[in-house]
Amino acid sequence: MTIKEAQETVDRWITSTGVRYFNELTNMTILTEEVGELARIMARKYGEQSFKESDKDYNMADEMADIMFVLICLANQTGVDLTEAFEKNLIKKTTRDSQRHKNNEKLKK
């Protein structure tokens, strides 16, 4: 599925199953909550925190998909073409960071 197809799929789902988009502020809050859920898993799986009993059934891929879904909702309702935005962002990063990471001593270890 392309990013454009994902945006179209989410829009169809929202209008058929979700009834309507939550407002932008609500979706921004939900996005923050979903990122927090992923952060909780990452802190326990890769960091020093241990899993609580309630954390044992985590699904990192599902949390990442939740983040994508809400981000796509925000893009749709604010008129952002994520394909175009992502392509421009890669160009920006490539131009800005063409030598930066290669010259970073911390990354050579």
Q: What is the CATH number of the domain that holds 73?
A: 1.10.287.1080
Q: How confident is the model at residue 98 (pLDDT cuts 50, 70, 90)?
A: confident
Domain span at 47: 3-83
Structurally, the chain folds into a number of domains equal to 1
pTM exceeding 0.85: yes
Residue 95 inside a domain? The answer is no
Tell me the mean pLDDT in the region 85-92.
Answer: 97
Residue 45 inside a domain? The answer is yes
Residue 91 inside a domain? The answer is no
Q: Of 33, 1, 34, 23, whose CA–CA distance to 76 is shortest?
A: 23
Q: What is the pLDDT of residues 24-33, one digit of tens each?
A: 999 999 999 9
